[in-house]
Amino acid sequence: MKPFILASASPRRRDLLGQIGLTPDRIIPADINEDPIEGELPRGHALRLACEKAQKVAHAHLGEVVLASDTVVAVGRRILPKSEDVKTAEACLRLLSGRSHRVFTGVAVVDEDGVLRSRVSETRLKMKRLSEAEIADYLESGEWDGKAGGYGIQGRAGAFIYHLSGSYTGVMGLPVYETRNLLLAACS
């Protein structure tokens, strides 16, 4: 496979690529405004952000393959924030407790000719009703830091999810099935 740039600083995304035998040539995070546009739905938001990230890095590195991704946790039409503080993480956990939610992960690849290819992975999940002790313990762990929707399924919060339909790796931040296919199309 041709060399490619990963437009993300996420160690989880690098690890997931490694699990399928892919290593980015370079890592160049895309710094974009990730705020939702008024009226934007979760699926469209994840796809738009992934595409914008890929295009921004590709514009600065013409002629190179660029991979970008973005993950959005949603309850209905509501996009949950990325948890940057304990108060936000707690609010997300309380909202998700005992409820179904969806995780959308947009993946975008810009090929050497500047052609953009993209996909969205949708996963439906159900979280158990959390006790006060479970919420407190999870918040104390710090695993919520920087996570969409206030939790990371690959850690302690994995024990809170009793049903998942879709892509486990998509919930982690990079659906490997869609990613591999997009990279193969861009690098062939």
- Catalytic site residues? 70
> How many angstroms separate the Cα of 30 from the Cα of each of 57, 143, 157, 182?
6, 23, 28, 19
Assess whether pLDDT exceeds 90 at residue 188.
Answer: no
- In this structure, which topology does domain 4-187 adopt according to CATH? Maf protein (3.90.950)
pLDDT of residue 17: 95
The model's pTM: 0.95
pLDDT of residue 90: 97
| pLDDT mean over 63-91 | 96
Question: What does pLDDT average to over the chain?
Answer: 95
Q: What are the structural domain ranges in the chain?
A: 4-187
pLDDT of residue 22: 93
